[in-house]
């Protein structure tokens, strides 16, 4: 029998639950649909990553005698049409947990059922689907550490294999649309390498050695010591079971205990992704509303010029500017920097986290609603397990601690390329004429951190209803 697998955020052939189940039943037709209603929420870097991954996936199928069937339109119409055209009895896909997607999936299921076609969806994107790791009362954890212990101790599934050539229906798909034809500008960033092969290489390289230094170096942006897997996990160019298996193997082959602990540190980051997926699933309103409720509304400020300076990486705080410029240049930002720039926006500039979230959503190739919202709410003191409102990052201290040689800063802020690290770390404390003489092109700080720290504390205390 013929079976359609609908690819969405699972742009891979290996370790793909719905695809491998479909292949087992005989003859599978992989399909991808450009849905204008979904593309409305997309952005240039993400579309670029997606198109490159799709092009590689299609080549993978073609090399094996199959093809990727491509359509543009409403999946409620396109999927029944594709199924009918090829005589398929069944359409399946991997579940997408975000609120909007699950509603759409339900509608697609109805349309297929009405057309007499069987529709199934399965879990795939996470090791443990939302709702499966709960407190004894069956509630979603609000504190990560408890979630992590359960996640860590539960047995994990192994990867499933890719279909082989005989399991692919011989069909021929249309060509893929261009970035421009989809209505998106050039991303103006060097997008991370996309596709299954790039993901596999990243995982292999990371698990061969950097994973053993991860615990020590993950907060050091210049070391480039993290896996870089986030866009691949977002787009499903690698399966989570494959990542887990490689990490587990690295752990069992670790040269010493510290190296094994380092593997566990990496493992615990994967659990953050699952934690935030759980949180968003039970709290879909937190995409726009604060997770943690305060007595009074937080009086965020409005300051278009400050917001623009933050976006442009021109705040005059070197570490903040370096992070914001990495985002623009690479559609990616190191995790430590995401925390620093988010704290700066919400505490030093006292701007609403939703402004920052909107910018990240536009610029990140790895933008994932659950992790992005989770990260922003955590950093701004409104989220689960949040950084308490009174713990405010000092951007100068953060820069000195995490980028002592200012290597990361100098990579992204060319105006400071020739300035010694000590001077960079003192930038804010320098006299204006000193700043003008060492780096005339680089801006003066747009706010005074000490004063803003006090003002932000007042803002949060007023929201808490404190005197
Ligand atoms: P590694 O350190 O190698 O971690 C491995 C994987 O674990 C990551 O690929 C990611 O899937 C997961 N992970 C690691 N840290 C976190 C975390 N704190 N929360 C959730 N998952 C995590 N991550 C996204 O994938 N998409 C986002 O849109 C996103 N937005 C963020 C916004 C803010 C304000 C903050 C503070 C963090 C955000 N993160 C987001 C989490 C984290 O910064 C990135 O996952 C990480 O920097 C990606 O780099 P990596 O793959 O090299 O990470």
Q: Is residue 287 part of a domain?
A: no
- Look at residue 385 in the predicted model and tell me its pLDDT: 76
Q: Quick check: CB of 270 below 6 Å from ligand 1? A: yes
Average pLDDT value for residue range 138-147: 95
Residue 277 has pLDDT above 80, yes or no: yes
What percent of the chain is predicted at pLDDT more than 70? 99
> Using 50, 70 and 90 to split pLDDT, how confident is the model at 100?
confident
Tell whether 274 is in a known binding site. Answer: yes
- Tell me which residue of 73, 71, 72, 85 sits closest to 117, measured CA to CA: 85
Q: Is 187 within a domain?
A: no
Q: Which atom of ligand 1 is nearest to the CA of 229?
A: 51
Per-residue model confidence as pLDDT tens digits over 103-121 = 899 999 999 999 999 999 9
Q: Are residues 393 and 319 in the same domain?
A: yes
Q: Are residues 345 and 216 in the same domain?
A: no
Shared domain for 146 and 272, answered yes or no, is yes
Q: Say which residue, 174 or 199, is predicted with more confidence.
A: 199
The best mutation among 366, 373, 380, 402 to test binding of ligand 1, ranked by most ligand atoms within 8 Å of the C-beta, falls on: 366
Domain-located, residue 173: no
| 172 within a domain of the structure (yes/no) | no
Does position 386 have pLDDT exceeding 80, yes or no? no
Atom number in ligand 1 closest to CA 270:
7
> 229: annotated binding-site residue?
yes
| Ligand 1: centre distance to CA 250 (Å) | 21
CATH of the domain at 146: 1.25.40.80
CA 220 – ligand 1 centroid, Å? 15
Q: In this structure, are 78 and 131 located in the same domain?
A: no
Report how far apart the first and last C-alpha atoms of the chain are (Å, whole number): 70
Separation of alpha carbons 239 and 249, rounded Å:
16
Q: Which of 220, 269, 286 best tests ligand 1's pocket when mutated (most atoms within 8 Å of CB)?
A: 269
The pLDDT value recorded for residue 421 is 98
How far is the centre of ligand 1, averaged over its atoms, from the C-alpha of 441 (Å)?
A: 32
* Residue where a domain stops, chosen among 124, 148, 178: 124
CATH assignment at residue 311 = 1.10.579.10
Q: Where is the domain boundary, 124, 145, 178?
A: 124
pLDDT band (50, 70, 90) for residue 467: low
Say if residue 126's pLDDT is above 90.
yes
pLDDT at 101: 84
Same domain, 134 and 119: no
Residue 403 annotated as binding?
no
Tell me which residue has tokens 């030093």. 348
Residues 306-352 have pLDDT tens digits of 999 999 999 999 999 999 999 999 999 999 999 999 999 999 999 99
* Residue 252 placed within a domain: yes
CB of residue 226 inside a 6 A radius of ligand 1 = yes
Q: What is the mean pLDDT of residues 432-445?
A: 97
**pLDDT tens for residues 200-234?**
999 999 999 999 999 999 999 999 899 999 999 99
Q: What is the mean pLDDT of residues 364-379?
A: 96
Q: Are residues 321 and 399 in the same domain?
A: yes
- Structurally, how many domains does the chain consist of? 3
**ipTM, interface predicted TM-score of the complex:** 0.99
User: Could you identify the atom of ligand 1 that is nearest to the CA of residue 372?
Assistant: 30
Residue 266, strand partner residues: none
Are residues 230 and 367 both part of a single domain?
A: no
| 414: containing domain | 304-464
Is 150 among the domain residues?
yes
Residues 15 and 133 in one domain: no
**From CA 394, how far away is CA 450, in angstroms rounded?**
9
In tens, the pLDDT along 37-53 reads: 999 999 999 999 999 99
Q: Is 366 flagged in the annotation as binding?
A: yes
Answer yes or no: do 379 and 266 share one domain: no
pLDDT mean across residues, the chain: 96
The verdict on the CB of residue 326 being under 6 Å from ligand 1 is no
Domain CATH for 104: 3.40.50.620
230 Cα: distance to centroid of ligand 1 (angstroms): 6
Residue nearest to atom 14 of ligand 1 (CA): 269
Going by alpha carbons, the residue nearest to atom 45 of ligand 1 is: 230
Q: Are residues 209 and 309 in the same domain?
A: no
Mutate to test the pocket of ligand 1, among 320, 330, 375, 379 (most ligand atoms within 8 A of CB): 375
With a 6 Å cutoff on the Cβ, whether 385 touches ligand 1 is no
> Is residue 431 a part of any domain in this protein?
yes
271 is in an annotated binding site: yes
Is residue 174 a part of any domain in this protein?
Answer: no
Q: Which pLDDT band, with edges at 50, 70 and 90, does 389 fall under?
A: confident
Q: With cut-offs at 50, 70 and 90, classify the pLDDT of residue 375.
A: very high
- Asked whether residue 225 falls in the same domain as residue 367, the answer is no
Do residues 144 and 211 share a domain?
A: yes
Is 280 close to ligand 1, i.e. is its CB under 6 Å away? no
SS (H, E, C) the chain: CEEEEEECCCCCCCCCHHHHHHHHCCEEEEEEEECHHHHCCCCHHHHHHHHHHHHHHHHHHHHCCCCCEEEECCHHHHHHHHHHHCCEEEEEEECCCCHHHHHHHHHHHHHHHHCCCEEEEECCCCCCCCCCCECCCCCECCCHHHHHHHHHHCCCCCCCCCCCHHHECCCCCCCCCCCCCCCCCCCCCCCCCCCHHHHHHHHHHHHHCHHHHHHHHCCCHHHCCCCCCHHHHHHCCCCHHHHHHHHHHHHHCCCCHHHHHHHHHHHHHHHHHHHHHHHHHHCHHHHCCCCCCCCCCCCCECCHHHHHHHHHCCCCCHHHHHHHHHHHHHCCCCHHHHHHHHHHHHHHCCECHHHHHHHHHHHCCCCCHHHHHHHHHHHHCCCCCCCCCCCCCCHHHHHHHHCCCCHHHHHHCHHHCCCCHHHHHCHHHCCHHHHHHHCCCCCCCCCCHHHHHHHHHHHHHHHHCCC
Q: What is d(CA 23, CA 391) in angstroms, rounded to the nearest whole number? A: 52
Exposure on the CB side of residue 434, measured as CA atoms within 13 A: 9
Ligand 1 in reach of 427 Cβ (< 6 A): no
Is residue 374's pLDDT more than 90?
Answer: yes
pLDDT for the residue 352: 98
């Amino acid at each position: 029998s013929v079976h359609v697998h609908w690819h969405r955020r699972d742009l891979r052939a290996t370790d793909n639950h719905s695809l491998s189940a479909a292949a087992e039943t005989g003859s599978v037709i992989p399909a991808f649909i450009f849905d204008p209603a979904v593309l409305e929420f997309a952005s240039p870097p993400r579309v670029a990553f997606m198109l490159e991954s799709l092009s590689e996936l299609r080549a993978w199928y073609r090399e094996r005698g199959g093809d990727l069937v491509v359509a543009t339109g409403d999946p409620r119409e396109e999927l029944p049409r594709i199924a009918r055209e090829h005589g398929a009895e069944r359409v399946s896909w991997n579940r997408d947990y975000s609120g909007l997607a699950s509603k759409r999936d339900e509608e697609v299921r109805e349309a297929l059922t009405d057309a007499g076609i069987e529709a199934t969806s399965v879990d795939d994107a996470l090791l443990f689907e939302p709702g499966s790791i709960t407190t004894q009362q069956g509630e979603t954890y609000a504190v990560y550490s408890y979630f992590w212990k359960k996640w860590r101790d539960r047995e994990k599934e192994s990867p499933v294999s890719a279909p082989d050539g005989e399991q692919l229906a011989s069909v021929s798909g249309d060509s893929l649309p261009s970035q421009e034809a989809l209505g998106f500008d050039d991303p103006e960033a060097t997008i991370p390498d996309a596709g299954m092969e790039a993901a596999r290489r990243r995982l292999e390289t990371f698990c061969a050695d950097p994973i053993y230094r991860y615990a020590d170096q993950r907060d050091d942006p210049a070391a480039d010591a993290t896996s870089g897997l986030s866009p691949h996990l977002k787009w499903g160019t690698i399966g989570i079971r494959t990542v887990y298996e490689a990490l587990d193997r690295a752990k069992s082959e670790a040269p010493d205990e510290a190296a094994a602990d380092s593997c566990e540190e990496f493992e615990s980051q994967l659990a953050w992704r699952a934690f935030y997926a759980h949180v968003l699933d039970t709290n879909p309103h937190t995409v726009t509303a604060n997770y943690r409720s305060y007595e009074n509304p937080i009086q965020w400020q409005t300051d278009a010029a400050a917001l623009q300076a933050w976006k442009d990486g021109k705040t005059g705080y070197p570490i903040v500017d370096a992070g914001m410029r990495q985002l623009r240049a690479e559609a990616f930002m190191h995790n430590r920097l995401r925390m620093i720039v988010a704290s700066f926006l919400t505490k030093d500039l006292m701007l609403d986290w939703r402004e920052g979230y909107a910018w990240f959503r536009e610029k990140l190739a790895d933008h994932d609603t659950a992790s992005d919202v989770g990260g922003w709410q955590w950093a701004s003191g409104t989220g689960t397990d949040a950084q308490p409102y009174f713990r405010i990052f000092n951007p100068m201290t953060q820069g000195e601690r995490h980028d002592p040689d200012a290597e990361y800063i100098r990579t992204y802020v060319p105006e400071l390329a020739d300035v010694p690290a000590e001077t960079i770390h003192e930038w804010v404390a320098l006299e204006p004429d000193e700043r003008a003489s060492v780096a005339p092109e680089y801006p003066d700080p747009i706010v005074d951190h000490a004063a803003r720290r006090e003002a932000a504390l007042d803002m949060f205390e007023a929201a808490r209803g404190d005197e």
